[in-house]
Structure 1
Amino acid sequence: MSERWLPQTDHEHAVMRVLTSIRSMSDAMERMHSGMKGDMDMNATDVAALRLLIIREQQGRAVSPHDIARHLRISTASTTKLLDRLEGSGHVRRQPHPTDRRGRVVVLTDESRQAFFRIFGVRLRAMREMALTYDERELELIERFLDDLGRAMDPPA
């Protein structure tokens, strides 16, 4: 176990303030996702799977059950149970992969997509409006920082 880090220099104190802000943002994200769990009658893993589907859909990328298992770090058996539950509640459909006859993809239902944006729409709009107050250079720096931070938090296996 590592010792507690105590900043010494002005730069290290600035780093500590950034890390404290990240913790505050993480707490706010957790509260936002907890609200969605209650609003959509889902558990945390269900919500995380829907978020993955929304993001990949916006990127134009298909999602396989294996992608979901890897993203959530759960077994294929757990993924099957999760998809059975989400399909049974009308949130997703499993359908043939568009280019691989043997594969399947998971897609959101229109109802689930609408519920997601109805619940998150106000928050997403507020986040977008806040981001619009920054100029392009600042946004590029923020994007680079967040991408680097994500990689640091989730190193390759």
Structure 2
Amino acid sequence: MSYPGLAESGHERYVMELLQAIRAFSDAMDRMHGGMKGDMDMNATDLAAMRMMIMREQRGETVSPHDVARHLRITTASTTKLLDRLEAAGHVERQPHPRDRRARVVVLTDTSRQEFYRHFGARLRGMRELADRYSDEELQLVTRFLDDISAVLDPQR
């Protein structure tokens, strides 16, 4: 694809190819999430909350309602509605915090976790297999680049 005033050689060409690849990646993620939203009968915010909980769970971290609100940048009232909706649908449970009995944590139900991985598991395996083809140094470079791009797109993260 050509853009007026932009040289199609050297560094500029590689930058444009990279930006086009980012856009294609973003479109692919949107299509994947769109399919998951429909299959799991969720809206985009519900799915974003579920993804955050899955990632935190994989790191062994607890998730509080406040964590959900901060991650999604929504009010506590909206967070309560979201968690009520996910709980009613059988996706999450609110449980006592393991170390602070005054607080609550939000956890995925086994059924929801299995459903999430049923929809996303094959793609995760494919991404993992693809990443295994790269050297440690290449993976570190890609990770640094993606972190930097994320900071540009979402400076408040």
TM-score by length of 1: 0.91
SS in 2 for 1:100: coil
Deviation at 1:128, TM superposition (A): 1.2
Alpha-carbon distance in structure 2 between the residues aligned to 1:50 and 1:7: 41
Q: Alignment RMSD, CA only? A: 1.7
SS in 2 for 1:101: coil
Could you tell me which runs of 5 or more consecutive residues in structure 1 were left unpaired when the two chains were aligned: none
Alpha-carbon distance in structure 2 between the residues aligned to 1:5 and 1:33: 33
1:153 alignment counterpart = 153
Q: What is the letter of the counterpart of residue 119 of structure 1?
A: H
Q: What is the letter of the counterpart of residue 108 of structure 2?
A: L
Could you tell me which runs of 5 or more consecutive residues in structure 2 were left unpaired when the two chains were aligned: none
Q: What is the letter of the counterpart of residue 85 of structure 2?
A: R
- Asked if 1:133 corresponds to 2:129, the answer is no
1:109 alignment counterpart = 109
1:32 alignment counterpart = 32
Alpha-carbon distance in structure 2 between the residues aligned to 1:150 and 1:41: 28
Deviation at 1:24, TM superposition (A): 0.4
Alpha-carbon distance in structure 2 between the residues aligned to 1:49 and 1:137: 32
SS in 2 for 1:105: strand
Deviation at 1:35, TM superposition (A): 0.8
- Asked if 1:64 corresponds to 2:64, the answer is yes
Alpha-carbon distance in structure 1 between the residues aligned to 2:51 and 2:5: 36
1:7-62 superposed Cα distances (whole Å, 9 cap, x missing partner): 34722221121111001000000111111111111111111100000000001111
Runs of 4+ in 1 over 2 A off after TM superposition: 4-10
Distance change in 2, residues 1:6/1:149 (3 Å)? farther
Task: Work out the number of aligned pairs and report it.
Answer: 154
Alpha-carbon distance in structure 1 between the residues aligned to 2:147 and 2:119: 26
Q: What is the letter of the counterpart of residue 30 of structure 2?
A: E
1:7 alignment counterpart = 6
1:50-104 superposed Cα distances (whole Å, 9 cap, x missing partner): 0000000001111111111111111111110000000001100011112222211
1:90 alignment counterpart = 90
Alpha-carbon distance in structure 2 between the residues aligned to 1:57 and 1:122: 19
Alpha-carbon distance in structure 1 between the residues aligned to 2:14 and 2:4: 13
Alpha-carbon distance in structure 2 between the residues aligned to 1:46 and 1:126: 24
Distance change in 2, residues 1:75/1:10 (3 Å)? same
- Asked if 1:48 corresponds to 2:59, the answer is no
Q: Percent identity?
A: 65
